[in-house]
Amino acid sequence: MRVVTGVVGNDIHVVANRLIEISLKERGFEVFNLGVNTYLEEFIDAVIETDADVLLISSLNGEAEGWSRDLLFLKSKFDLDGVLFAIGGNLSVGEANAEDMSQKYRAYGYDLVFHQIDLNEGLDIIEQTLKEQN
């Protein structure tokens, strides 16, 4: 299974990004890590280029919200039906509950939304979802 991952927007929080990469590799994924400070268009390009199964975007402190508004538009331009879109991290600027965040980001076009949940828990859910799809 191939995963494209990275941190969206003008965000240089590298530690979590690196931990996600290590965790994914430990679980046997082939990982394409675009690193910090990545634009949404670059994620989509990488998904197409690598024929990825999963796009896992991470974000801290609400950066993702402004950057996610174009996701549905970008998805509509390409055939990305088989790709699982996931986003996780701290998805709001201030405090927010996970359910509200989940609804909001699903509307932006994500299949899985992890607001402030443990990294391994999120990755378990991704693996579970992939299993159910196949």
The catalytic residue positions are 11, 13
Judged by CB, which is closer to another protein: 21, or 63? 21
DSSP 18: H
Nearest alpha-carbon partner for 115 in 89, 93, 95: 89
* Smallest distance, another protein to C-beta of residue 23, A: 5
Judged by CB, which is closer to another protein: 39, or 129? 39
The torsion angle over the Cα atoms of residues 75, 80, 82 and 84, rounded to 10 degrees, is -50
Estimate to the nearest angstrom the gap between the alpha carbon of 54 and the chain centroid.
Answer: 8
Judged by CB, which is closer to another protein: 1, or 119? 119
* Smallest distance, another protein to C-beta of residue 42, A: 12
